[in-house]
Chain A
Amino acid sequence: MSQIVRAFQPEVDQNTCIKCGNCQTYCPEGTVMLTEEGVVFDYRYCKGCGVCANECPVKAIKMRREE
């Protein structure tokens, strides 16, 4: 599997997160998962579209520019 090129990657502030699961529901690729320990991302397949951050009702997900 080739490396996905993306400009931004999502990061979650687990303290703000209310575990509603919107990010998991709307992620186009299924690369967001809500676990007991909070939200985790699969950076192997995430394209950095930012849908998860946009759909988060409490703005717990931020898109950070990748180096």
Chain B
Amino acid sequence: MGIIRMLEGNEAAAWGAKLARAEVVPAYPITPQTELISTIASFIANGEMKAQYIKVEGEHTAMAAAIGASAAGARVFTASASQGIVFMEEALWMPPGMRLPIVMCMVNRAMAPIGGLRPDHNDSLLQRDTGWIQFYCENSQEILDTVIQAYKVGEDKRVYLPVAVCYDGYFASATATPTSIPDQKEVDDYLPPYKHEMYNLMPGEFRTIRGFPQNIAKARYEVQKATEKAKGVIEEVDKSYGEIFGRYYDGALEEYACDGIEAVFMTMGSMTGTARDVIDEIQAEGKKVGLIKMRCFRPFPTEELRKLAKKYKVIGIVDRNTSYGSASGSGIVAMEVARALYSLDDRPLLLNFHVGLGGSDVTMRQIRYIADKVLDAYQTGKAEDETDWVELKDLGEVM
């Protein structure tokens, strides 16, 4: 049996790394991730955690050291945010191709300029093409659980891919919520020590997958196949984790209060918590709008989404990011959803909302507005705006 503590998101992530027995932690501080690595540093100083903490001189080196350590047989944990993630981008492309199951927390923060220290999702979404698996978490409990699950998924020999556990800076990283901390013994049983079947850098036992492939397309397709396989593994891990620790996250997509409902909107990250409250309120008022939470953005849950799309007439996608000059001015998630659903004969109507850019608060009022727009579209059968910058609308008093 675990104990319950009030943990901030960053502390929860540190607990996850500790429970997973990460052996090497190369990290460089950046707001809003700093509390995570200082918590790990104090775990190590207290003797609660046995890990090599490398105090590197930049994020580029942090990821490079992570790659070296992972290939040399150590379980690796690291974390970064915003400019730091983008600074290490050159290195971020390496672990998927090298098939190294590094786990990294991406504590979302807006990119400069016209940003701040607060969160939007552009920093991690920018890495969507690199091959990293990406989870987006809502609160401390989910962060802790997802870090442990991330190792289980990434180190699965059908997958062998790095995993990013993303959560919003401040709203998730610095907000303390009651968090159940699993028992170390149970985590140990659930997550056996890391052993990579493709790598061994020890002299006399050398094994590697590096080199120049004869057929580059085929080598890349291997990575693509691994991401496809990861979908099944994510479902499996969610189930097996739930059986032991009692918490399920419905794999890649979670439906919230969607029974008998045909109009929904989809959120990612910390705003989901606000959205749940709004949904409870408006359903009590008789408005029939439901919520989908996208938990796993990479691999993109195409099949699951298509299955859901058959039930819904309208899907509103709430994007906490911008892609300047994109198709229809859409956010990144909306573009992916549109591609996934395009091949269906009977497609739902898609709406796209930009909220919380540069870390501005996503208010209940804004979510209500989104729900109303979705309902309008459901009733009229057409969308007023393809892409709606909600924050530019005068919604009256802020709630």
**Are chains A and B touching in the complex at the 8 Å CB cutoff?**
no
- Residues of A at under 8 Å CB distance from B? none
- Residues of B at under 8 Å CB distance from A? none
